[in-house]
Amino acid sequence: MAHKQKRYALLIDSRKCIDCKSCVVACRAENGVPLAYSRNWINEEHRGAWPKLQAAFEPEQCHHCTDPACVRVCPTGASRQRPDGIVVVDDADCVGCRYCIIACPYDARFFREDRGVVEKCDLCAHRVDRGEVPACVETCPSKARVFGDLNDANGKLRDVLAKRNYRVKKPEAGTGPQIYYLL
């Protein structure tokens, strides 16, 4: 039987996000990210006028796009996309020109001054390759995040995306982001 190519993506139900920052700390611990940087973050929006107030929280990180601008502009190919869709940075080839940081519509990348290379969320590829889910997904108290294979017709992602409306962020940038935010 032909082995179908996996395409990993994240599904986030922001309604469940309570801005507890568990994902931020879990990522920091799992990937050794120094305090000065963050591979993921929570966007907050506070609206309304007293006493009709609203607040919404939206986790975000690298969207592992289908047409990643960061991969396209990289002069050495250090920024590359795995067949399973995960966009990674090969440290050995990164010269630190930071073109990719500028090219990312989501400002998901950052430059590690201490290491001279660019870094970002890599969906905990080392965990995924062991059959686990990314640290942020595992740790979330609200279970607001779902990680899965878009190409798996019977998988959780396709199941939810078939039932629920969703949106992606900044589609007009044209990079084909793969974090699906449930509406």
Member of 7, 8, 9, 13 binding other proteins (CB under 8 A): 13
Size of the site for other proteins (CB under 8 A): 69
Q: Is 163 in the site for other proteins (CB under 8 A)?
A: no
Q: Is 159 in the site for other proteins (CB under 8 A)?
A: no
| Residues 120, 121, 125: CA angle, nearest 5 degrees | 125
What is the bridge-based pairing of β-strands 179-182 and 8-12? Answer: parallel
In the bound state with other proteins, the residue whose beta carbon lies nearer, of 133 and 150, is 133
Nearest distance, CB of residue 1 and other proteins, angstroms: 30
User: Are 123 and 148 spatial neighbours (Cβ–Cβ below 8 Å)?
Assistant: no
Q: Which two tokens stand for residue 40?
A: 């993921």
Q: Is 174 in the site for other proteins (CB under 8 A)?
A: yes
Q: Is 25 in the site for other proteins (CB under 8 A)?
A: yes
Residues 65-104 that bind other proteins (CB under 8 A): 69, 72-77, 93-99, 101-104
Cα separation, 67 vs 176, in Å, equals 6
Report in angstroms the alpha-carbon separations of 112 from 5, 127, 142, 147. Answer: 32, 22, 31, 27
Nearest distance, CB of residue 153 and other proteins, angstroms: 24
Q: Which residue, among 157, 174, 155, has the nearest Cα to 103 in the 3D structure? A: 174
User: Are 163 and 146 spatial neighbours (Cβ–Cβ below 8 Å)?
Assistant: no
In the complex, the residues that contact other proteins under the rule CB under 8 A are: 13, 15-16, 18-22, 24-26, 28-30, 35, 37-38, 41, 46, 48-51, 53-57, 69, 72-77, 93-99, 101-107, 110-113, 115-118, 135, 138-143, 170, 172-175
